[in-house]
Structure 1
Amino acid sequence: MRRGALGLTTALLSSVLVGTGLDAAPASAATTTAYTLPSTGTVTLAGHGYGHGHGMSQYGAQGAALAGQTWQQITSFYYPGTSRSTLARTIRVKISADTSRDVVVGPRSGLGVLLPTGEVRALPSNGAERWRLEVASGNRASVDYLIQGTWTRWTTFDGDGAFTAGGQPIRLYYAGTSHRFRGNLAAVRPSATSTDRDTINVLSLEDYLKGVVPSEMPASWDPDAVAAQAVAARTYAAYQLQTPQGSTYDICDTTSCQVYGGNDAEWAASNAAIAATKGVILTSGGKPAFTQFSSSSGGFTSAGSFSYLPAKDDPYDAWKRSDGSFGNPNHSWSATVDVADIEKKTGIANVAKVSVLMNDDHHVSKLTFTGTGGKVVTVYGDTFRSWFGLRSTYFAITGRPTTTP
């Protein structure tokens, strides 16, 4: 997932498939086109969209909202067949950049330490510049404070602890920076005997969304688009709650999950959209749906792993501003790829042609390269996209194909 309405991305496949014994029968809409490649120079690609294309197009949601669609209509369009329900939960978010053995926070009114027993011990106003939870001898937890460059131990206890401030934001110091987070900031051992600690932010699902929605879509966009993003993000988190990423946390804070910026990322407009959709999630078969989203579908969504993530036309992705200019910079794009780089990546000394399999007449599933010496290498479309930094797998090679099987 990228900031600024660039959306959620899935991990790119890195495997290269050598040989020709690849496919079971492709989907009925799949087509294959073969192209002759030049011996030198570049190949031009004409592309559309940004991201995996599953589910909601974020630019499309904005286009739909500007066309008068409500957030209910937007989410029904991009996740057809789902139902609306409500959910109120807490969620455990791993702060991925805080990989140290301690959790260091700034002082503030109401700051306390939550013990494994459930007791909250208030921390004194003693002039401390920082407080930390750290690993003590015997793999116990210690609470220390910093004054004028010296750390002093305040207490130790068995088990894991957390800083809490009665729901008020706490400033966390890590990786040479600091950010504020709502909820509790816990130092959690990743396994029972580990002497490492993960920093886990434990907070309500609604407060979590306040740090996600404006990190994924501009809060200044149409309120119904932002509300649709809130529902998609809440549902995605709800899906992760039933399939946690780890034993000590439910979800991460990076593009591998959803981008989460904590309290510092919040905007009043996105908070209002979250409040307007309070608790609403999308379900399928009574369970939270896997509501993937990405920056732009390019005008045609890509089929995902569930029936509510179909491949279909997206008329909202190519919306225009009032002056007639296109509002989505990712709807259409072009890129050039050097033939020498293709040869380097595939290991084919003299690549002569490529056959492109599209799984829905739009998105590239596989590319099979053949060299003049007969060597054949097939790669997934996602792999090719990763190799050359393409915005999506919705692209075609410009030029005249040699054959259309």
Structure 2
Amino acid sequence: MRSRFTLVLTLLVSTTFLGAAPAHADEPKVSVYGTTTFTGHGFGHGRGMSQYGARGRAIKAWKASSILNFYYPGTTLSNASGDIRIWLKGDIDSDTIVLPKAGLSITDSATGKTYKLPTTIGATSWRLTGSGASSGFKLSYSKNGWHSYLPGGHSLSGYGEFRTSAYTITVKMPGGNKSYRGAIQRRNGHTINRTSFDSYVKGVVAAEMPPTWPMEALKSQAIAARTFGAYSKATSSGPSDTWNVDDTTNYQVYGGLAAETSRTNQAVVGTAGKILTYAGAPDNGGPAYTQFSSSNGGWTVAGDTKPYLVAAQDTYEQYGSNPYANWTYAPSQSTLQTKLEALASDKGTDIGTLKYLQVVDRDGHGEWGGRVLDIRLIGTKASIVVGGSDLRFAIGLRSTWFQLAP
């Protein structure tokens, strides 16, 4: 194992805890008739690392360990090994198809036996069908139509896993072919990429952060991404789970082999195996929940149950040429009414025609009192209080840190 060191809480973080208390007074009602303007800061949820903040710190010569120390205070740099299973959500059809390649084989999960797939039969692709968790899978190959193939002369007893001697494999998807490191499985109706943590992170860093950014920012992203994957795996319900993460923003974007670049891979290799752990509750020595977002707008957001996800002023975003530091959005009256009346309806309230918006609660950190926690939708029939995040996603705001103006 590599040497371990504790990421101590820096003075910069500790001096920012003395922000204002959350603001609870209702703000003036803002009419939605005409054009309503939202002026805001940041892009994303704001918890954990800001990618633009990491960039700003790296520009100012901060090392990755110090960057992570600011965003995840109290965590410890540790090591992780093993593999991770990624659900490839772009493969939305009813089978899993890979392209032929020298050294391609299939392993039967039930027997553990591996069978080399021939290159002499003229197959243009290999396909697994079946929707079960551990049985009922069939293998076939394409050559002027699909033909059944029995590896070793037998049907598969369990699910199948494709792999190659080169450790790379290409999957045929509805949107085009994509290559991945590791193995490809079909389980529970999903196409799964099983690969090492570092191979996974190579496909994440390049998809989440521009490769031209400073190396210490890329290293910070690599460690945060690896830790997030390890946390997701550790908190899944057990080894029988089909997958640990998917390849979208539901977890973190994973682009596979095609997304990789030499600089982002350099950052992954330079931090190989490193993750952040937290000794106290609730993680108890396990991987930390290293959430990150594009931009926090100047203040990080506290996590409800994670002591290392704290609210702190982040002054380094200004050095990262951050296009999301300040933004405006002016949706039309019809857009607001249509989308927010639907939001209220989804929550069980018919508000009639939306007339006003009224901020009810903020988190107390930064300009205007900080991020909107709750906002009231006032209609001709009724009103309802919804979360700031609910409103953000309903109308497409970049963050919940905003001010309203008619």
User: Shorter-chain TM-score category?
Assistant: 0.7 to 0.9
Contact conserved, 1:54 with 1:304, CA < 8 A, in 2? Answer: yes
1:176–1:297 Cα change, 3 Å: closer
> Which structure has more RCO (C-alpha within 8 Å, separation ≥ 6)?
1
- The residue aligned with 1:75 is 68
Shift of 1:101: 3.5
Name whichever of 95-104 and 123-132 sits farther off.
95-104
Find the aligned partners of 2:250 and 2:263 in 1 and give their Cα distance: 25
Shift of 1:238: 0.7
- The residue aligned with 2:114 is 120
Residue of 353, 378, 394 corresponding to 2:385: 378
Contact conserved, 1:167 with 1:184, CA < 8 A, in 2? Answer: no
Select the structure that is richer in helix: 2
TM-score by length of 1: 0.83
Shift of 1:172: 0.4
1:35–1:162 Cα change, 3 Å: same
Shift of 1:348: 4.7
1:321-360 mapped onto 2 (5 Å cutoff): 327-339=321-333, 341-344=335-338, 345-346=340-341, 347-349=351-353, 351-352=355-356, 354-360=358-364
C-alpha deviations, 1:215-241, integer Å up to 9, x for none? 111122110000000000000001011
SS of the aligned residue for 2:62 comes to coil
1:99–1:38 Cα change, 3 Å: closer
- The residue aligned with 1:319 is 319
The code of the aligned residue for 1:215 comes to: A
Shift of 1:302: 1.3
Contact conserved, 1:51 with 1:297, CA < 8 A, in 2? Answer: yes
Residue of 45, 48, 55 corresponding to 2:48: 55
Find the aligned partners of 1:98 and 1:342 in 2 and give their Cα distance: 34
Shift of 1:35: 1.7
The code of the aligned residue for 2:302 comes to: A
Structure 2 residue 376 is matched with structure 1 residue 368? yes
The sequence identity of aligned pairs, in percent, is 36
1:160–1:38 Cα change, 3 Å: closer
Name whichever of 310-319 and 62-71 sits farther off.
310-319
Contact conserved, 1:135 with 1:141, CA < 8 A, in 2? Answer: yes
The code of the aligned residue for 2:374 comes to: K
Shift of 1:143: 2.3
The code of the aligned residue for 2:86 comes to: V
Contact conserved, 2:375 with 2:385, CA < 8 A, in 1? Answer: yes
Residue of 221, 225, 231 corresponding to 1:229: 221
Shift of 1:102: 2.3
Contact conserved, 2:79 with 2:273, CA < 8 A, in 1? Answer: yes
Find the aligned partners of 2:266 and 2:78 in 1 and give their Cα distance: 19
Residue of 199, 208, 215 corresponding to 1:207: 199
1:167–1:206 Cα change, 3 Å: farther
Structure 2 residue 385 is matched with structure 1 residue 392? no
Contact conserved, 1:364 with 1:381, CA < 8 A, in 2? Answer: yes
C-alpha deviations, 1:253-273, integer Å up to 9, x for none? 111111111111111111110
Contact conserved, 1:244 with 1:251, CA < 8 A, in 2? Answer: no
Structure 2 residue 129 is matched with structure 1 residue 134? yes
Contact conserved, 1:37 with 1:352, CA < 8 A, in 2? Answer: yes
- The residue aligned with 1:21 is none
Shift of 1:243: 1.3
Find the aligned partners of 2:254 and 2:360 in 1 and give their Cα distance: 37
Find the aligned partners of 1:29 and 1:36 in 2 and give their Cα distance: 19
Find the aligned partners of 2:88 and 2:184 in 1 and give their Cα distance: 9
1:135–1:37 Cα change, 3 Å: closer
Any runs of at least 4 consecutive aligned residues in structure 1 with deviations exceeding 6 A, and if so which? Answer: none
The code of the aligned residue for 1:388 comes to: I
The code of the aligned residue for 2:95 comes to: D
The code of the aligned residue for 1:113 comes to: I
1:350–1:249 Cα change, 3 Å: closer
Q: Which runs of 5+ in 1 are unaligned?
A: 1-26, 191-196, 321-326, 400-405
1:203-282 mapped onto 2 (5 Å cutoff): 203-244=195-236, 247-282=241-276
Shift of 1:382: 0.9
Give the CA RMSD over aligned residues. Answer: 2.4
Name whichever of 253-262 and 240-249 sits farther off.
240-249
SS of the aligned residue for 1:229 comes to helix
Find the aligned partners of 2:242 and 2:150 in 1 and give their Cα distance: 26
Find the aligned partners of 1:132 and 1:398 in 2 and give their Cα distance: 56
- The residue aligned with 1:16 is none
Shift of 1:154: 4.0
Find the aligned partners of 1:232 and 1:108 in 2 and give their Cα distance: 34
Find the aligned partners of 1:93 and 1:298 in 2 and give their Cα distance: 31
TM-score by length of 2: 0.82
Shift of 1:340: 5.2
1:101–1:42 Cα change, 3 Å: closer
